[in-house]
A = this chain, B = another copy of it.
Amino acid sequence: MNFIQKLEQSWSSSNSLLCVGLDPNWQKIPEHLKTLPEPIFEFCKAIVDATHDLVCAFKPQIAYFAGLQAEDQLEKTLNYIRETYPHIPIILDAKRGDIGSTAEMYAVEAFDRYKADAVTVNPYMGQDSAQPFLDRADRGTILLCRTSNSGAGDIQDLEVDGQPIYEKVASMISREWNTHNNCCIVVGATWPEQMSRLREITGDMPFLVPGVGAQGGDVEALVKAGQTANGKGLMINSSRGVIYAGNDQNFAIASRKVALETRDLINQFRNS
């Protein structure tokens, strides 16, 4: 079973398009966890246990672990998810990208060391830089296309033959890079109009959608713009909104509450 199939099954079994991002910021982790031997792992584990039946995927962000010198706790987090909830796809958010044997080593990092089901990759260096990821046919490669930040347009919106670069990138990925049917793209939640055009360009390719808050309007617009005909096609990521919903002993209960609300809000606007 490859990544896309695993994701399809997860969308169905969870009845959810919500992806919970695991971004363990030390300043925001509940104080009572900080005295434990592996506080970052314990934090992530508690969030995972509290939300596992509400998500289509988990997305640990490697930067938070790397900044804290905690790659061991990242490994442990992925192992825990994989062993306890083997049906849930794990996306390692790493935005890697390099050439030749260096890109191969990044693929080893994501897929062999961390055993992620999919990894985020930056396409700026071109197809050959993504190839070592794409060649892992059982795993997913999630390529940045139109990101959610305010400066995203600096390069991504430049126009080539009357078409923004991010559309060119989406076309290239869809037509040329996706020979193993294991590509997805990142499309920011903040740009529903662009998302609907990208849906036209890429057919049923899954979108990883960062940038969702708890604002209903945004969710409605993005689900309507981005979903596929069968009401799937989206991994709508929320990180801070879910995982920092509380910061006391009951933080995991608070995160479950927000995850449930977000999943249900998303589901209101899905094609059935």
Contacts and interface: CB of A to CB of B under 8 A. Distances in A.
Contacts of A23: 101-102
How many interface residues does chain A have, given as a range?
A: 35 or more
B155 A109 contact: no
A191 interface: no
Interface of A, secondary structure class, is helix
Contact of A113 (B69, B105, B123, B126): B69
Interface in A116-154: 122-129, 144, 147-154
A99 B147 contact: yes
Contact of A61 (B71, B96, B102, B144): B102
Contacts of A158: 160, 165, 168
A191 to B, nearest CB: 13
A95 interface: yes
A213 to B, nearest CB: 13
23 contacts: A25-B101, A63-B103, A64-B105, A66-B105, A67-B112, A69-B113, A71-B71, A97-B122, A123-B154, A123-B155, A124-B124, A124-B144, A125-B147, A125-B149, A125-B156, A126-B147, A126-B152, A127-B154, A155-B169, A155-B172, A158-B160, A160-B160, A165-B165
B122 A151 contact: no
B147 A67 contact: no
A106 interface: yes
A60 to B, nearest CB: 12
